[in-house]
């Protein structure tokens, strides 16, 4: 499909919240990305973050962005500076994710109407990210915080879109949503390295189906 027309940052932000999950991938063999995208899409996961630690990450995004299934989002992760954000956007990234808060990255993304998701850990960082214009705030690393931290944050930050990354599994993803997360970021628990190395993409599809079912149940409980 032709991706010459880019979705607005508002539309992408809404889509990430609606989809509920961003698959975070760090590949050693970049040639496997197409099969992973297809396996995720079959399972219902439609947003993928290609980290800059993946070999040829920018080139990989450029190659695959025009061929994505309808409704699928491709983003760039582990972005540490504005120059890399610009390269990723030029390659076709529809959103940019960082493990840290750098207002210069947010500014660069917004100049191109691209959603930006900075990484924050403390309430002060989260508020700074909101003030800088973050579209969603990635709480990272969420491993040591837990869903209870998100419940506590809902008091002072009821309208901030939060996305935990680190510590999210297929089994506990619903707990984060029930605690107030807008979406979750999930890596190896959804994309196990051993299954990918063995070309068992059916296992990726199975994991995707399970996490989507978990998120649906969690959201139904909140309705």
| Active-site annotation holds for 216 | no
| Cβ contact 1:165 at 8 Å | no
**Which of 17, 28, 138, 151 is the catalytic position?**
138
Helix (H, G, I), strand (E, B) or coil at 35: helix
**Which of 49, 108, 161, 175 is the catalytic position?**
49
| Cβ contact 200:35 at 8 Å | no
Which residues, listed in sequence order, are joined to residue 48 by a DSSP beta bridge?
23, 74
Tell me which DSSP letter residue 116 carries.
Answer: E
| Active-site annotation holds for 49 | yes
Q: Where are the alpha helices (DSSP H) in the chain?
A: 9-19, 33-43, 57-64, 82-91, 103-111, 123-132, 147-154, 173-178, 193-197, 201-222
- Cα 42 from Cα 38, distance rounded (Å): 6
22: nearest Cα among 115, 158, 105: 115
How many beta carbons lie within 10 A of that of residue 138, not counting itself? 31
- Cα 121 from Cα 212, distance rounded (Å): 26
Catalytic center residues: 49, 138
């Amino acid at each position: 499909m032709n991706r010459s027309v880019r979705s607005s940052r508002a539309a992408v932000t809404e889509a990430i919240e609606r989809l509920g999950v961003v698959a975070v991938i760090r590949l050693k063999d970049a040639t496997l990305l197409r099969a992973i995208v297809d396996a995720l899409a079959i399972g219902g996961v439609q947003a993928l973050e290609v980290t800059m630690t993946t070999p040829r990450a920018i080139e990989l995004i450029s190659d695959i962005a025009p061929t994505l299934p309808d409704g699928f989002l491709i983003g760039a992760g582990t972005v540490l500076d504005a120059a890399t954000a610009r390269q990723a956007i030029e390659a076709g990234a529809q959103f940019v994710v960082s493990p840290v808060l750098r207002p210069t990255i947010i500014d660069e993304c917004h100049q191109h109407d691209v959603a930006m998701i900075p990484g924050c850990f403390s309430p002060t960082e989260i508020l700074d990210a909101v003030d800088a214009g973050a579209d969603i705030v990635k709480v990272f690393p969420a491993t040591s915080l837990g869903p209870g931290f998100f419940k506590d944050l809902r008091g002072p930050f009821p309208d901030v879109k939060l996305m935990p990354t680190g510590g999210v599994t297929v089994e506990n993803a619903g707990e984060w949503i029930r605690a107030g997360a807008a979406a979750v970021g999930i890596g190896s628990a959804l994309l196990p390295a051993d299954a990918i190395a063995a070309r068992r993409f059916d296992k990726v599809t199975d994991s995707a189906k399970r996490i989507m079912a978990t998120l649906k149940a969690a959201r139904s409980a909140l309705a």
